[in-house]
Amino acid sequence: MPADPKRTIHLAHSPDADDAFMFWALAAGKIDTGARRYEHELADIETLNRRALNGELEVTAVSLHAYAHLADRYALLAHGASIGDRYGPRIVARTPRPADPRGALAAGGGALVAVPGELTTAFLTLKLYQPAARHVVVPFDQIEDYVTAGRADAGLLIHEGQLTYGDRGLHLWVDMGEWWYEETHGLPLPLGGNVVRRDLGAALMRDIARDLKASIQYGLRHRAEALAHAKGFSRGLDDARTDRFIGMYVNAYTIDYGPHGRRAVTELLGRAQRAGLLPGPVEVTFVEG
């Protein structure tokens, strides 16, 4: 049966400045979505990953790591990716960077790392970097406090923490995006994307992809308005750093992965599968609007 175009679509994403920026036009009614209406749900990315595992969400942001466990039920929208080009999640610690960070993270007395969730792409890259790393799961917005309090030796920071760790006196050990770039001879690090449930049908999936792409493009064309909205989700960043953070994760790759971004997704999931970090090979399906 053809999909019913007159429907309300539940769309979930993180309460972060970059997601707020890209979904602003959609939430504010700035673009024509026909008979489709969107209800936005906000939750941290690991919560969204877990809910998507249960198939609860029609459209949601997820980690690329989580997508490897969801590909049978969800397709990857070609629009809305968070991709770091020579930057990404950062391993930070109270102590200065050791001469051999990888060795310092090895098991058998190695540093305990606070991570934002085992389905995050940040965690996947940590395990690719140092499979023996010990970890403890901590909510992403509590990791800096957790490390400064001495409850973990190091922390794996996502979102705004990538820009604020120095304010807490923490030291950078490894930028996972820079490491990945060097490891792959020039690929960006795909961190998160948006997925759509396959049972919505091909026509509606394409319509949703088109709406999301239009929202991102509108925000980039009306950057000042979109930034003003996104500031409310920046968790204490000043205007300059909010602008910088959004520029890091809402860019040309966000409009569309493009060939380079798609190859990066394939490379990341392929390496993870060969390393035994995924249940099996992942066939990635992109839906374009």
> Would you please indicate which residues are annotated as catalytic (active-site) residues?
159
Measured distance CA(21)–CA(27) in Å, rounded: 10
Kindly report the three-state secondary structure assignment for every residue of 11-74.
Answer: EEECCCHHHHHHHHHHHCCCCCCCCCEEEEEECCHHHHHHHHHCCCCCEEEEEHHHHCCCCCCE
Measured distance CA(38)–CA(96) in Å, rounded: 46
Residues forming a β-bridge with 172: 92
Contact criterion met (CB below 8 Å) for 106 and 86: no
The closest alpha carbon to 216, from 239, 187, 193, belongs to 193
The closest alpha carbon to 279, from 96, 121, 103, 67, belongs to 67
Residues forming a β-bridge with 174: 91
**Cβ neighbourhood burial of 267 (10 Å; 0-12, 13-18, 19+):** middle
